[in-house]
Amino acid sequence: MTQQNLFLGIDCGTQGTKAIVLDASSGKVLGLGAAAHTLISGANGRREQHTQEWLDAFTEATHRALQQAGVDGQDILGIGVSGQQHGLVLLDDSGQVLRPAKLWCDTETAAENERLLQYLGGESASLERLGVAIAPGYTVSKLLWTREQHPEVFARIAHILLPHDYLNYWLTGRAVAEYGDASGTGYFNVRSRTWDVALLQHIDPSGRLQAALPTLIEADQAVGTILPAIAERLGINPDAIVSSGGGDNMMGAIGTGNIAPGVITMSLGSSGTVYAFADQPNVSPQASVATFCSSSGGWLPLICTMNLTNATGVIRELFDLDLDAFNALVEQAPIGADGVSMLPFLNGERVPALPHATGSLHGLTMTNLTRANLCRAVVEGTTFGLRYGLDLLRQTGLHSQSIRLIGGGSKSPVWRQMVADIMHTEVICTEQSEAAALGAAIQAAWSQSGESLASLCEKCVSVDPASRTLPVADNVSAYQHAYERYQQHVATL
């Protein structure tokens, strides 16, 4: 029997934490665990979470994954952590969290972001300087907001961390960052792969923010060894290494084998993302395309929509439907939802760039106002946002014969067919839908074993042939008409 080489992959997302146990020798996922988070919401766009919930969910999900895998936690060789991008975790000089973490979907700092964008000279100038156009939700505006709204907190800042950086700090006691996740802060130059210290000095000339930045490490480097007390809490090997980890999109790229040109990944999660590996930082002139660094040595041009399963979930809960009943209603309604269109911008929107937009319904009549049409309209509306973003990526020269689909929405055959038809491209799912957690585990194996990332991905990432979905010509045409209607509604905002 081949000796197992066990690694733990963690994905700390908006809705919860997922954990997987990976045997890197066989490439098999042996166990999965999950635990939920709650969200602090405000009418002003506030979206925050208590970091203690992340730690509790991390522990619970790990215990469940180990139990399902039926393995001894003392055999875990390493841990990789994926985290939601753009969030802000502030620590004092004793390592204590100063306030709840502001998340990627927080738009409370939209005014601060606009002021910073004006300082940079607008979107084009931001693209020229940073390689990205800073947007509401990025980390940089959260720092300016904290200085102005919570000066007493700002004065105590000793460490500025992203969510996955914070979890690595909890695991090891070391404050470090990795280039992929760092590239989504808005104070990082994606071309030179360096912090933009001058932008931080504009926010606070004292140099406090510059001094609080974590050390940057490469994706294949280890942060360190897990702290004994945390190893005991998790029930794992106290000699386990903690790899650099990364943002959820960067880890999702690894978890779908998207580490070389020619693959496009689309995630149907709380947010919607589409991304592809690039070996050069070819920055798009379109502000909605973020040319992040990858966590595999290159770059990861990406678009992100702010409203996906969080929007479909609201409609599902409104009608008190389980997933099967919701999908049945979506399938029951005709393509185009009988003329009903939904702009599902419940959190504002990044793609299209409408940070102050709200959700809206269009085309309602006495005859088409049905639950089925509303359910289909929200799924179509969120998917049209992804089509808008995919078209922007295609304009940069990124192409693929198929789309690798991940995230909770990918489990729905109805939604898979809709994606194939709207994108006019074959869709296939990876066998492991928790791609970010898998990518984190693969990265831990890469860091610990010295085996090449390409070899590990070939062994650990596989597609599900049964999920292969081809576009249907008549559907493609019908969706194109509905998409053009969506574009007309967006143009009025």
The SS3 assignment for 487 reads helix
* Cβ contact 337:377 at 8 Å: yes
Task: Map tokens 């062994």 to a residue.
Answer: 459
Q: How far apart are CA 188 and CA 199, in angstroms?
A: 9
Residues in Cβ contact with 384 at an 8 Å cutoff, skipping those fewer than 6 apart:
422, 482, 483, 486
Q: Write out the two tokens for 287.
A: 């502000």
The set of catalytic residues is 248
* Cβ contact 452:254 at 8 Å: no
Within 13 Å and on the Cβ side, how many CA atoms surround 318? 11
* Cβ contact 83:242 at 8 Å: no
Q: Write out the two tokens for 271.
A: 């947010």
Q: How far apart are CA 7 and CA 73, in angstroms?
A: 10
Q: Write out the two tokens for 183.
A: 């590239």
Q: Write out the two tokens for 78.
A: 């390493």
Q: Running DSSP on this structure, what letter comes out for residue 360?
A: E
Instruction: Examine residue 261 and say whether the peptide bond preceding it is cis (omega within 30 degrees of 0).
Output: no
Number of Cβ within a 10 Å radius of residue 353: 15
Q: Write out the two tokens for 415.
A: 């939604």
Q: Write out the two tokens for 413.
A: 């055959």
Query: Per the annotation, does 362 bind a ligand?
Result: no
Q: Which runs of consecutive H residues, i.e. helices, occur in 150-213?
A: 151-154, 163-172, 179-182, 197-203, 208-211
Query: Per the annotation, does 52 bind a ligand?
Result: no
Q: How far apart are CA 300 and CA 327, in angstroms?
A: 32
Number of H helices, E strands in the chain: 18, 24
Q: How far apart are CA 207 and CA 144, in angstroms?
A: 14
Q: Write out the two tokens for 127.
A: 């693209």
Of 45, 142, 136, nearest in space to 90 by CA: 142
Binding site members: 85-86
Binding site members for substrate: 85-86
